[in-house]
């Protein structure tokens, strides 16, 4: 057993589709899941808080911090928590 996170629905339409991030923490601790552009600009923070051990699910609808639909492109989901340091990709098509 190990901590892990998986991103589902990696191709979405901004404002119409939903990407899903499922995580499993073996121990509690700080969990941050954030969406970035290819040049490293923060698009959206899905979570950045202390979480208990266990499973969780988060959704992202292709909107930025201001609630606006983002442009088409490849975005990076950075997942950092107890036992997890991972980057997944999500493609947004409009």
Tens of pLDDT, residues 6-55: 999 999 997 788 999 999 999 999 999 999 999 999 999 999 999 999 99
Cβ atoms of 58 and 47 within 8 Å: the answer is: yes
The pLDDT value given to residue 1: 79
User: How far is Cα 89 from Cα 62, in angstroms, rounded to an integer?
Assistant: 13
Q: How far apart are the first and last CA of the chain?
A: 38
User: How far is Cα 79 from Cα 70, in angstroms, rounded to an integer?
Assistant: 20
Cβ atoms of 8 and 89 within 8 Å: the answer is: no
- What pTM did the predictor assign? 0.93
């Amino acid at each position: 057993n190990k901590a892990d996170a998986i991103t589902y629905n990696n191709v979405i339409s901004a404002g119409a589709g939903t990407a899903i991030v499922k995580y499993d923490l073996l121990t509690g601790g700080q969990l941050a899941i954030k969406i970035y552009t290819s040049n490293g600009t923060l698009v959206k923070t899905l979570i950045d808080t202390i979480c208990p051990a266990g499973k969780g699910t988060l959704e992202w609808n292709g909107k930025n911090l201001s609630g606006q639909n983002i442009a088409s492109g490849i975005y990076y989901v950075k997942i950092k928590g107890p036992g997890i340091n991972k980057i997944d990709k999500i493609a947004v098509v409009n």
